[in-house]
Amino acid sequence: MHGTRIENLAINGGKPVRENFLDFSRPVLGEEEKNEVMKVLDSGWLTSGDKVKEFEKRFAYYIGSKYAISVNSCTAGLFLILKVLGIGAGDEVITSPNTFPATANVIEHLGAKPVFCDIKLDDGNIDPDKIAEKITSRTKGIIPVHYAGAPCDMDAIETLAFNYRLFIVNDAAHAIETEWVDGKIGRHGIASAYSFYATKNLTTGEGGMVVTNNENIARQLTLLRLHGLSDDASSRYQKSGKSSYDLILPGYKFNMPDILAALGLVQLKKIYSHHQLRFELDEYYRSLLQDVEYVTTLRKVNKGAHAYHLFPVLVDFDKLSCDKDEFIDALKSENIGASQHFKPLHLYTYYRNKYGYKEGDFPLAEQFGQRVITLPFSPYISKNDVMDVVNALKKVLDHYCKFRKLYSFEIMERLESRTLY
């Protein structure tokens, strides 16, 4: 069945596959990052300043956009984009239920309604063929979520947006390196928000970036991210700066400090080499899992480019005598830091209570959420680590397989036949 001997699970007192715990997604930070942070600390200027401006310039160049506006999170970026676009009470914005709550929460914060559209099971992304049926006279836009770094079908989504006069805002939290046909995903739609959270492909610990080619959006976001003031602190406090300032808009405290930008500048230099390592790990995982029963890998990208942010697999729990939580706990006891991305948003208490969502409303997103497990994935992980993950996965699968007795009997028959010959 899996080609490994059934062993007592570590969660039940057995010996774990690994001696040391393998983190789910440890950031790869070295001396260069430490040195750049120390330079900022030594400079005496810790908040938004020259490092932020340099990071914005370099990130815009990397994406191929005219403007990049740094913020303190991807969530803040999505919120500000929708705010500038005038989203408010009575409006609807279509997005995927297979995402982190922030994607829908920002719509809620503005008094609008997030409208969920079911996904495709083979890649976890929103199904463009189902978007049209969700469009009403109140629909203002679509937020595609590029799950795990795989690009959504932007040709189909852009056609819908054009025909119905809707905006597209990309939730690119997983998608720094993601491309669609003519370049980075951030070149599509009116604006895109990226995440630099601790587990992301480019990390600053916390932080995010909005990219756009629209001058008005860039100008409004720049004001709103820092209280709506005409001048930031670095401009006011410099020798040549103005001491006075004006309040243009009632804004927010969403700016990125120079310490984080210093990390981002170094991480951006490593983006190509880290992406190559992630690609190689993805390929290695796939080669080891291709014949593992009850486990399905997601479809490989056949158009554009994948960011390789996560490595999700779908496990057939109908064939096992455990649920997903128990399965993940068993993997963790084997010292494998597995996780899950995501529980469908419509099944969370808040969205159930407010909109009356129930099980069965988005069957593919629910099936995906019930089956998905994300395995450790980061440039710090070696091929030996991947082998440990797969061995632990097989061990746990064998233990919880409903046909374990049959499998054990088959193994015994093979062993007896070998001794006879």
Positions marked active-site: 200
Element (H, E) at 172: strand 167-172
Report yes or no: 145 and 98 within 8 Å, Cβ to Cβ.
yes
* b/e sequence 186-199, b meaning 16+ C-beta within 10 Å: bbbbbbbbbbbbeb
State both tokens at 121. 């099971």
> Terminus-to-terminus CA distance in the chain, angstroms?
23
What is the distance between the alpha carbons of residues 153 and 146, in angstroms, rounded to a whole number?
A: 9
Beta strand 139-143 with 67-71 is: unpaired
Amino acid (1-letter code) at residue 356: G
Report yes or no: 86 and 80 within 8 Å, Cβ to Cβ.
no
What is the distance between the alpha carbons of residues 94 and 145, in angstroms, rounded to a whole number?
A: 11
Q: Please report, for residues 75, 163, 266, 278, 307, the alpha-carbon distance to residue 261 in angstroms, rounded to integers and kept in the order given.
A: 17, 39, 9, 23, 21
What is the distance between the alpha carbons of residues 53 and 261, in angstroms, rounded to a whole number?
A: 9
What is the distance between the alpha carbons of residues 67 and 85, in angstroms, rounded to a whole number?
A: 16
